[in-house]
Amino acid sequence: MKNSAFLKGMAHGIPIALGYLSVSFGFGIMAVKSGLSVLESTLISLTNLTSAGQAAGVEVIASGGTLAEMVLVQLTINIRYALMSLSLSQKLDKNFTFPHRMAAAFGITDEIFGVCAAQKEPLTPLYMYGMILIAALGWTAGTFLGAFAGQLLPAPVSAALGIVLYGMFLALIVPPSRKEKSVLCVVLTAALLSVICKYLLPGLSGGFAVILCAVSASVLGALLFPRKEESA
């Protein structure tokens, strides 16, 4: 029974791992282009499962940012994972003790959250471990391959493959932007602020630019498009 839960989690995680393999390939190329070694790039993906957070973190490292800047950038970008974890806590099996919760929280990503939230049965530790394991392997393997290839491929090819990660970001924001004008407004605001920071505030580091754009666009979206409270 226990093995079946673990294998079920791995089976559900295979599509996620395949997607991560291609996306993290682009991150690996970006990381080595920023001055990191293959080992350093791979270790970052092994110990972190956050595409946007890793991309922003590498930019902070490459620009010589401070630890405080890194902390603020990661908090701004990754705070959503805490909310996802709180949501999933309502679906956990009774065997999910505190140590299991701490271990499983490491692997909460957008895709893993989506699959887990869709499950009708309570989530068991082994099910989540199986999914997280295969997904993390795909993410780490893709980073290693991308970082290794980035050292060997010609510069034009590396630059072309390096946009894979940004292609994933576009795939995440375009569909909801077409459906909701509130999302479109936030996205366009963040893009406009990013351009302003780039050309009008050249002294502002990339990390603080991310914080400024993300927080400002989110606050504007909350003010212009407040969510109506659902009646009980």
Q: What is the pLDDT of residue 155?
A: 72
**Residue type at position 12:** H
- Judged against a pLDDT cut of 70, whether residue 229 lies above it is answered with no
Identify which of 66, 57, 55 has the alpha carbon closest to the alpha carbon of residue 29: 55
Token pair listed for 9: 């989690």
Residue 95 has pLDDT above 90, yes or no: no
- The number of beta carbons lying within 10 Å of the beta carbon of residue 209 is 19
Amino acid at 19: G
Check pLDDT > 50 for residue 232. Answer: no
Separation of alpha carbons 112 and 12, rounded Å: 9
Percent of the chain with pLDDT over 70: 92
Taking the CA atoms of residue 163, residue 164, residue 165 and residue 166 in that order, the dihedral angle to the nearest 10 degrees is 50
pLDDT at res. 165: 65
Q: Which residues contact 49 (CB under 8 A, 6 or more apart)?
A: 106, 107, 109, 135, 136, 139
Rounded to the nearest 10 degrees, the angle between the axes of helix 51-62 and helix 38-47 is 140
Distance linking the first and last C-alpha atoms of the chain: 40
Which tens digits make up the pLDDT trace of 133-192?
999 999 999 999 999 988 877 777 766 666 766 776 777 788 888 888 888 999 999 999
Contact of 31 with 147, CB cutoff 8 Å: yes
Q: Predicted confidence band at 73 (pLDDT cuts at 50, 70, 90)? A: confident
Q: For residues 138 and 17, give the distance between their C-alpha atoms in angstroms, rounded to a whole number.
A: 4
pLDDT of residue 15: 92
139 contacts 18 by C-beta, under 8 angstroms: no
Q: How many CB atoms lie within 10 A of CB 5?
A: 19
How many CB atoms are closer than 10 A to CB 45?
26
Q: Is 80's pLDDT higher than 90?
A: no
- For residues 215 and 175, give the distance between their C-alpha atoms in angstroms, rounded to a whole number: 22
- Give 13-54 pLDDT, tens digit per residue: 999 999 899 889 889 988 998 899 999 999 999 998 888 889
**Average pLDDT of the chain to the nearest whole number:** 86
Q: φ, ψ for residue 163 (rounded to 5)? A: -85, 0
3 CB contacts (<8 Å, ≥6 apart)? none
